[in-house]
Structure 1
């Protein structure tokens, strides 16, 4: 009975025994509080609470226990007061929310203690934050074989809420060592650092001039990996 939130009938629930333990109350008093609630929410009681039995680990006798959904817990906990009570309420509801979210995502790990539930919630939030740039940017970019111009990358970054144009993006890339700077013929071409990271490639095109000479142009283009790399940076506020 040491689980903060568990699964019964495919729903996240907690128990009256666990609530009594966490809120430092006598289990009899928690049972009475639930019985009192039944009088006021008779029609909806079965959606919030259902009664069961548990075996006491010491005397091996069976005793009453209530299992409750998040809404049932919220209704019960309304009567609990004090700073610690408020803290526990928030932690409990957060654990319920994370459990529901994991079930909706197709899988879950049941937390076995309050510290594990809080750690689970923190881990889940980290995963959400890590995935956010990829979701905003579109899943296809990660494996895309197509590269784009720096100006097109600026538009993508702007579409994700960061105000930046092509000129400022070129300047930022030169200042941060991704593109070559200075007044030289290879200005705005990828640096060795960028090529090693495989976030840029150089596209060469050959033109035949009217006089018979050949002109070669070299254009920096951002690879699929580079697009994700730069969008992540700007969405994290690294500018």
Structure 2
């Protein structure tokens, strides 16, 4: 496949039946994990004109960018993208990308222990989908107490105190505190909101630890593995 041939995020959405906003989110997660500098040439922000003649944001992916995204999808979606890659072959004899994509289906099954692919079985995917839908409907940042209730709905019954204890034990919350560690904040897992509270002794600064949307998804993955 010619190196100059590309695919856009909205084209991926059309091929897989996914919502474009979810494909965009998948790509943004990859960029956050790897770094903008590392993938700038393979996952490039761009624009397209939709059916209503509106300019919308999307991403333009190189063949390497497509390979990064495809590892996140199910066998069915990967096959659709493989077939699309075949249709873009400028020279039939040059099948390097197609061959790599076909091999990835086999290789990725052997790399589940490294969290490279999502679980292929629909039954195992349901908890993740259900949780992701819950996150989309909730506010961006929530309290640990609220998060423990969401986890309970996903079959992880810890409660606020035990959840704090788990987070401290794993190094995400400071010991003997409810404040996140600097590392956890830099990872984008927590946000600390501050406000001035008036008391009989004067004004004091109150800090509240909240989980970001990224943190909510990150920790449920960790908790499901450890449970």
Q: TM-score range by the shorter chain?
A: 0.3 to 0.5
TM-score between both structures, scaled by the size of structure 1: 0.44
So what's the TM-score if we normalise by structure 2?
0.46
